[in-house]
Amino acid sequence: MAQKTIFPPICIALGLPDTDSLIDQARAEYQAGERFLEFRLDYIPDPERGIAAMQKFLLRHTDCTILATCRRRQNQGKFTGSIEEQLRMLNAAREAGAHAVDLEIESAENCEERLADLRASTYLLLSYHNYGGTPPRLDHVLKRMTRIPAHGYKIVTTARKPSDTSRVLSLAKSHPKTPTILLAMGETGFATRVLSPAFGGLYTYAAPNMALGTASGQVGAKKLRSIYRVGKISRDAKIYGVIADPVNHSISPAVHNRAFQARRIDASYLPFLVKPGQLKDFFAMAEDLPLAGFSVTIPHKLKIIRYLDQVDPVAKRIGAVNTVWRKAGKWRGTNTDAPGVTVPLEKHLRLSKSSVLVVGNGGAARGAAFALVEAGAKLSLTGRNIDRVRALASACGAEPLSREQAEARMFDAVVHATPLGMSPNTDKCFFRDKIPAKLVFDMVYTPMETELLKRARAQKAVVIPGIEMFLEQASRQFEIWTGERAPRAAMKQAALEALAARIKT
């Protein structure tokens, strides 16, 4: 087998329906600094026109590495020709200057004796795709593929649960001498797109910055480089993350990765989609990766406790955990939401002499309620589920109120601790009319200016945006995980940039 070829860490997958769009996107990516592009010839009705366009592009961009792919429709591609015609297209692409070609294993197994010339003249990548899930024995898949000599092997599955991610990545560790690209499609498999190169994969794939990608879960190379530092984190990097459902709205990756960068810590913080009922499977993944720590948010702050070895007294009283880390082989949990609530509020009033209304009854509301009672505030609770409100009020020694009762009163501060108003449902607000407080604190930070805060400003109330709580609790998480002082200014800048970018898109 030929020696392992070194590719740039990110390949931009270009799947466009015509040659003009293909070349326009290729030029745009090149101008953005990308030097490794995949030309999906099967996306073009006449792949030969795509090959001619690719050759013309290469004449002007000689420092660009091109991977040519012409996947058959039978294997989830768009090419309708025979295997013989597919081989002819790949050979033509090689003659036109492609540095590597991708051939799916199903085709390769039916033309093995005809691959010698292609393998001798260019980098041959054999690929396997599973759009239904992740097979239980991936080593069997790799064994099947390596029966056919090639320079590299690409295995792409679909992640249905968190442990699919670690199983895909572990294949690189268990077969370090086999050149591989290992990825899991879908939001659940996103971590593989970041970690694959660090785990020993040849490279990862990204979507064009101005067009759709060719697979579920692909994001732009700019995001992979600027937020996740793909190509710069090492094999020994510590891995952190946030677990939630949904999770793609979170700005935590942008903030914590900027903090690691500011402190020059070799670490990566990733979003992990963990659906209800998947916590046990998530911990299997966390052990395998291994994960050093993670943030916990909706809907897992309460149920996570049963999976932890130790929970500190504050989090136990609250009954909710938002920060987990591993120490001496044990999973430990705490709650940094509490100071995230009290510290911003204390900049405006003395909690021990103030009346506060908390809206909500979930993990965030529990953290706020117990923290405020401990600070001496006169606390009232309300929410959409009055039975849960009463249960929480009984647990922390607060006064339960219906929405109508709460709206008929006036408080020194309102703390909103529900997802109402969070993107994409930005028009939602718990209160029907006037907000019953002089100070309004909304834990929701996407968007920064929620419907609640808009109404509060309109009635001349002082407002505290959710970003203040987010930064306070995130800074404390960083310090727990690393033992270093949080770079708060850098974290705030990253948060504001992430929120501004979301508004643009």
Nearby residues of 20 by Cβ (< 8 Å), 6 or more positions away:
none
**Cα separation, 99 vs 104, whole angstroms:** 17
- pLDDT recorded at residue 254: 97
Residue 1 pLDDT greater than 90, yes or no: no
Average pLDDT for 305-329 = 95
In this structure, what DSSP letter does residue 485 have? Answer: -
Beta bridge partners of 123: 100
**Which of 161, 223, 301, 438 is labelled catalytic?**
301
Is pLDDT of 229 > 80?
Answer: yes
Can you give the C-alpha Rg of the chain in angstroms? 26
Q: Please tell me whether the peptide bond between 136 and the residue prior to it is cis, using omega within 30 degrees of 0.
A: no
Look at residue 5 and tell me whether its pLDDT is greater than 60. no
| Overall pTM surpassing 0.85 (yes/no) | yes
Is 464:345 a contact under the CB 8 Å cutoff?
Answer: yes
Q: Spell out the domains of the chain, with CATH numbers in brackets.
A: 10-236 (3.20.20.70), 240-335+487-504 (3.40.50.10860), 341-464 (3.40.50.720)
Distance, in Å, from the CA atom of 390 to the CA atom of 210, rounded to the nearest integer, reads 50
What whole-number distance in Å separates Cα of residue 455 and Cα of residue 446? 16
User: Could you tell me whether strands 323-327 and 293-296 are parallel, antiparallel, or unpaired per DSSP bridges?
Assistant: antiparallel
Give, in order, the Cα–Cα distances in Å from 304 to each of 1, 284, 296, 363, 373. 47, 14, 8, 11, 23
Spatial CB neighbours of 223, under 8 Å, sequence gap ≥ 6: 206
214 has a pLDDT exceeding 90: no
Place of tokens 């953005």: 32
* Contact predicate 56/27, CB 8 Å: no
- Which pLDDT score, from 0 to 100, does residue 384 have? 94
pLDDT, one tens digit per residue, over 136-179 is: 999 999 999 999 999 999 999 999 999 999 999 999 889 999 99
Backbone angles phi, psi at 415, to 5 degrees: -115, 115
- pLDDT at position 6, please? 74
Longest dimension (CA), the chain: 84
Separation of alpha carbons 233 and 199, rounded Å: 10
Q: Contact, 230 vs 194, CB < 8 A?
A: yes
Note the pLDDT of residue 216.
84
Average pLDDT over residues 75-97: 97
Known catalytic membership, residue 301: yes
User: Tokens standing for 311?
Assistant: 């929970």
| pLDDT per residue as tens digits for the range 450-461 | 999 999 999 999
